[in-house]
Chain A
Amino acid sequence: MSGYTRIEKLGKPGVLVCTDNFYLDALSAAEDFGMPKARLITLPAADFYRLRTSEKAIRPVAEAAVDKLIDGLRRPLSPEEASVTAKKEALEPVAVSADSYAHAVRKFNEVFLANRWSDGLPLVPPTKEAVQEMLKGTSRSPSEVIGTVAPKNGIVTIEKIAINAVMAGARPEYLPVIIAAMEGFTDPAYDDLHILTSSGSFNLAIMVSGPIAKEINVNSGIGMLGYGWQANSTIGRAVRLITINAGRLWPAETDMALIGRPSSQFYVFAENHDLSPWDPFHVSQGFKPEDSCVTISSVMSSPGNNFGGGAVEPWTPQQILDNITRTLLSSRPAMPGWKRGGPNPGPMKHILIFQPELAIELDRLGHKRPSLQKLLYERATIPYEQLTPAEVASVKRRIESGEISPDRVPVFREALKPGGKLPILDGPEDIRIAVAGGIPGYTFGMMYYREGLYAPTSDQTRKIRGATLTKAGRGN
């Protein structure tokens, strides 16, 4: 979409083509880029997706569209198209009244849902008093700007975070965690646009690490991704509500996830420091062990890769590491199409959540996080002699285009020689390892592209600061 408006702004008339189901989304995106009257031609979705398998199949769709496309380039602008005016949205408080408090709350919920300020579940009313109570959880100024949320780039302040946290049912002591998550989420280097709006069901994992997790009771044990824990449920819900209300997200309009985003409150859990033999995850990201941090990470639709463990089948570390290696290699078929910024932007990154028993056993065998990253990285390789010409060409193109970082290029050049082994990942750091769950537990993984489609990173770790109601997370 940015391309359409960029080229138009350079003085060239264009026609934006999309399917009819994406019409509102495209119109909204054109508005975001400053061209609300983009000339849009739609194709019937019911035909386009089904028939795009070949030129022969898609020909009727193209034949029906071509005259409209030519007309879109030739037909003079209408007066409506020639003039554009900015719309200013009022962000005033909202008052509702009813014959009882219960009915007023019901009415408030109806108004918020009708305005698309809700996730559909009942909300707690963000009265001024409730928001002030929430703000007691942080020493930071309510007017402090944290950043913006895609796609509409609504501005997120500490106060807006607090309002949405109240609505989500969060407690004031959770606020610094939600703020840290939003600091990562709104970092310009983090690609929030793709996971919030894509037609795929991409989603977000939010991991809390460090002493604050225990203080505010974020579940890190059995059932850590499930229900019943206020911190897990409402921290994620607050972040979801902020994305709705700052990003102006709405299903089938600006969020085009075709089957939705199961677990719309995201995957929130804590690292299990009591049972982990290793440093907290955030130490691997450059923070101090005693810090409390939040890591947000783009993930595919669900934490679906179960590598083993559990209470049903016996397991060994070797089996689990073998299963992980197979999953790391599973992205190989996509390799020929890897291209930065495209629909298949490049190699993956993996978040591996080790069950505590596995971590303890591997620790006994002498492993720490870095040695396991290296081990798995080196196992997930393909012998040069088995590479297809298309795979070799893809690696060469990535080297030449600068998509492989300069410090890693020698590794890949070496891999493209007889006897070489091509890594499926760009580097060992693309395997993130944390310890969570109970005993027994499962070892599972979540994956996503190492780079975003619209911004260079797909995860961020932020130190929690400014907390006032917990011992951890205080200070700057």
Chain B
Amino acid sequence: MRIARARPERFGGIVEVESPRALLHVDRQMMRELGYPESPLWQLPPEGPLSAPREVHVVLSRRCAAGCRGCYVDATPDGAALPFEDACRILDELAAMGVFHVALGGGEALELDYLFAVAAHARRVGITPNLTTSGLGLDAKAAEECRVFGQINVSVDGVGAAYAAARGFDGFRHAERALRLLRAVKREVGVNCVVSRSSFPRVPEVARLVHKLRLNELELLRFKPVGRGARLDEELTPAQCRELWPMARRLVWRERIRVKLDCSFAPMVFWHRPSAKAAAFFGVQGCVGGDVLAAVQPEGAFTGCSFTPRPAADARIPGAMAEAWRSGFSEFRDYAAHAPEPCASCEYLRLCNGGCRAVGTPDPGCPRVQEHRSRRPLPVVAG
């Protein structure tokens, strides 16, 4: 285990270690034991937002030839892109703020001829670049260049015909080929699978693919009604919301693979009442927009997460991101303090933070919210 870098926080600090690759939150005493100097942040109460995001999703473009029917960034073949110079300057600022990881995506980031140059720049300034791609057009040479990334996930929303049904075009063979090419050059290759109402029953087939190709993770992402997805009726049913956590557990045991769920699934996990202590330790959280996570859009908007349209600043203006981080994002950060029922009385509120802002507040996919709403008395209508 080697400490790559660290930054102080109110509670102590965040330490990035390599092999195993991990981000560790440690207390003030541990920071002292590791030789870090006293921080002015340690004069503040330990609770409060992070001094900077831990990870930032940089949406490099809204450009993609695939035309997936549920694309959340509404990508088109000639969509907007963040210019190379802007991307590098933004990475410089994020590095100065202390950001550890960036997730590069789009659109299809591989369609940009400067993707690898952006990733190399991230490495130079001390940020680990990660990538999500459809894998379309990836050849052996590009796969070799992908060594620059930390984790690379290929989007596979179904196997065979289920892929075409989910995405609206037949790209499964391309995605599988991309996975094999990437796995031949690096270990940190996984699958992203968007779980929607119609794809839910076929998720186990994707898990089997992850096992078969010896990939390091399966990440299940919740379908969100954003971008072109807003025109689809694909949000999970209440029964599927309850079944998600048991299904994820079964996939771990049956396929012997690592399964992760994105932050928007947290309410559906907490409804099953897992150990709150274990959840806190392993960073199981709901909405972390404007705290752990931030996003930069291709047009320069600095937002709390990729799915929220409200910009806190223009990331292209020098210093604007750091300034916005100090004072903005109250819609994310203040939720727990003013949460309505049924969130207010939920023991997981501090971890869950009301669920995903992209689908509603409080999260309508949360089984607890669904139960609360079903119990509310109907209004009396005068006859």
- The reply to whether chain A is a binding partner of chain B is no
Binding site for A on B (CB under 8 A): none
Binding site for B on A (CB under 8 A): none
